Amino acid sequence: MGEKVFMQGNAAMAESAIRADCKFFFGYPITPSSEVPEYYARAAKERPEENIVFVQGETEVAVFNMIAGTAATGKRVMTATSGPGFSLGQEAMSFMSAAGLPAVVVEVMRSGPADGEILAAQGDYFQAVKGGGHGDYRVLVLAPYSIQEMCELMQECFDLAEKYRNPVILLTDSLLAKMREAVELPGRKTSRVDQRDWTLTGCAGREHHVLTTCGDGAAQWEAFNLNLQEKYAKIKANEVRWQSYQVEDADIVLVAYGSMARVAEGAMKMAREEGLKVGLIRPISLWPFPEKAFQGLAGKKFLVTELSAGQMVEDVKLSVDRKEDVRFFGRLGGVVPSPKDILAEIRKLEVK
Amino acid sequence: MKHELLFSGIGGQGIMLLGEILCNVVIEKGYQVSFAPFYGQEKRGGRTMCNVVIADGMESPIISEAELMLVMDERSLKDYEHLVAPGGTLLLNSSMIELEPQRRDIKVVKVPFYEIAADLGNAKASNMVALGYVLRYLPFVDREAVEKEVAKTFSAKAALVELNVKAVKTGYEYEEQV
Amino acid sequence: MKTIYKRPESFTDAVTSYCGGCGHGIVNKLMAELLDEMGLREKTILVWPIGCSVYADKYFKADAICALHGRAPALATGIKRSLPDRFVLVYQGDGDMVSEGMSEIMHAAVRGENFSVVFINNAIYGMTGGQMAPTTLWGQTTSTSPYGREKSSSGYPVNMAEIMAQMPGVCYSERVTVNSPQRIAATKKALKKAFSYQFEEKGLSFVEVLSPCPTGWSQKPVKALEWLEQKMIPIFPLGVFKDMKEGEGK
Closest CA to A59 of C104, C109, C75: C104
A334 phi, psi to nearest 5 deg:
110, -5
CATH code: domain of residue A183: 3.40.50.970
* Same domain? A66 vs A81: yes
Task: Count CA atoms closer than 13 A to C83's CA, side-chain side.
Answer: 22
Is A205 within the bounds of a domain? no
User: Binning pLDDT at 50, 70 and 90, where does residue B41 land?
Assistant: low
Closest Cβ opposite residue C78 in set A58, A70, A204: A70
pLDDT greater at residue A344 or residue B11: A344
Chain B nearest-CA residue for A177:
B36
Closest CA to C13 of C55, C62, C59, C64: C59
CA distance A114 to B147: 45
Contact at CB, A208 and C62, closer than 8 angstroms? yes
Query: Cβ contacts (< 8 Å) between A267 and chain B: which residues?
Result: 60
Choose from C83, C86, C198 for mutation: most chain A CBs within 10 A. Answer: C83
* Same domain? A109 vs A256: no
The answer to whether residue B46 scores a pLDDT higher than 90 is no
Q: What is the pLDDT at residue A351?
A: 63
| Cβ–Cβ contact A175 with B under 8 A | yes
User: Binning pLDDT at 50, 70 and 90, where does residue A232 land?
Assistant: very high
* Same domain? A63 vs A101: yes
For chain A, the farthest-separated pair of C-alpha atoms sits apart, in whole angstroms, at 73
Bridge partners, C92 (sequence order): C119
Query: Cβ contacts (< 8 Å) between A58 and chain C: which residues?
Result: 103-104, 106-107, 110
Note the pLDDT tens digit of each residue in A109-152.
999 999 988 899 999 999 999 999 999 999 999 999 999 999 99
Helix (H) or strand (E) run with residue B101 in it:
none
* Same domain? A150 vs A298: no
Note the pLDDT tens digit of each residue in A24-50.
999 999 999 999 999 999 999 999 999
* Same domain? A173 vs A257: no
Tell me the residue type at A345.
E
* Same domain? A180 vs A297: no
Taken in order of first residue, the domains within chain B and their CATH numbers are: 2-173 (3.40.920.10)
Within 8 A by CB and 6+ apart from A322, the residues are A298
A127 to chain C, minimum CA–CA distance in Å? 20
* Same domain? A310 vs A233: no
Q: What is the pLDDT at residue C116?
A: 98
ipTM of the complex: 0.97
CA distance A252 to A278: 5
Taken in order A21, A24, A26, A32, the sign of the CA dihedral is positive
CA distance A129 to A286: 6
* Same domain? A302 vs A265: yes
Q: How many domains does chain A have?
A: 2
Structural domain containing residue A289: 242-351
Look at strands A210-211 and A24-27 and give their pairing.
unpaired
User: Among A171, A205, A238, where does a domain finish?
Assistant: A238
Contact at CB, A6 and B23, closer than 8 angstroms? yes
Note the pLDDT tens digit of each residue in C23-64.
999 999 999 999 999 999 999 999 999 999 999 999 999 999
CA distance A292 to A242: 9
Is A57 within the bounds of a domain? yes
| Cβ–Cβ contact C81 with A under 8 A | yes
Q: Where are the alpha helices (DSSP H) in chain A?
A: 9-19, 35-46, 60-72, 83-99, 125, 147-164, 174-178, 218-238, 258-273, 312-319, 339-351
Is A23 within the bounds of a domain? yes
Is A154 within the bounds of a domain? yes
CA distance A253 to A279: 5
Distances (CA, A) of B19 to A18, A64, B23, B132, B137: 28, 37, 6, 12, 14
CA distance C175 to C187: 9
Query: Cβ contacts (< 8 Å) between A216 and chain C: which residues?
Result: 55
CB A101 within 8 A of CB A68: yes
CATH code: domain of residue A297: 3.40.50.920
Q: What is the pLDDT at residue A350?
A: 74
Within 8 A by CB and 6+ apart from A142, the residues are A153, A156, A157, A160, A168, A169, A170, A171, A241, A284, A285, A286
Rg, C-alpha atoms of chain A = 21
Q: What is the pLDDT at residue A2?
A: 63
Q: What is the pLDDT at residue C105?
A: 98
CB C57 within 8 A of CB A212: yes
Is A206 within the bounds of a domain? no
Residues of chain C predicted below pLDDT 50: 250
Helix (H, G, I), strand (E, B) or coil at A326: strand
Chain C meets chain A (3+ C-beta pairs below 8 A): yes
The answer to whether residue B178 scores a pLDDT higher than 70 is no
Query: Cβ contacts (< 8 Å) between B23 and chain A: which residues?
Result: 6, 180
Choose from A24, A55, A70, A216 for mutation: most chain C CBs within 10 A. Answer: A70
Least confident of A89-93, A184-188, A208-212, A283-287: A184-188
Query: Cβ contacts (< 8 Å) between C87 and chain A: which residues?
Result: 202
* Same domain? A117 vs A181: yes
Taken in order of first residue, the domains within chain C and their CATH numbers are: 24-249 (3.40.50.970)
Task: Report DSSP state, residue A47.
Answer: -
pLDDT greater at residue B40 or residue C103: C103
Is A144 within the bounds of a domain? yes
Contact at CB, A179 and B27, closer than 8 angstroms? no
* Same domain? A37 vs A72: yes
Is A26 within the bounds of a domain? yes
Is A346 within the bounds of a domain? yes
* Same domain? A37 vs A184: yes
Choose from A75, A198, A210 for mutation: most chain C CBs within 10 A. Answer: A210
Closest Cβ opposite residue A338 in set B27, B35, B63: B63
Cis previous bond, A113, omega within 30: yes
* Same domain? A120 vs A44: yes
Choose from C81, C99, C111, C114 for mutation: most chain A CBs within 10 A. Answer: C81
| Cβ–Cβ contact A165 with C under 8 A | no
Q: What is the pLDDT at residue C248?
A: 61
Looking at chain B, which subunits does it touch, using at least 3 CB pairs closer than 8 Å as the criterion?
A: A
Q: What is the pLDDT at residue B43?
A: 64
Contact at CB, B60 and A265, closer than 8 angstroms? yes
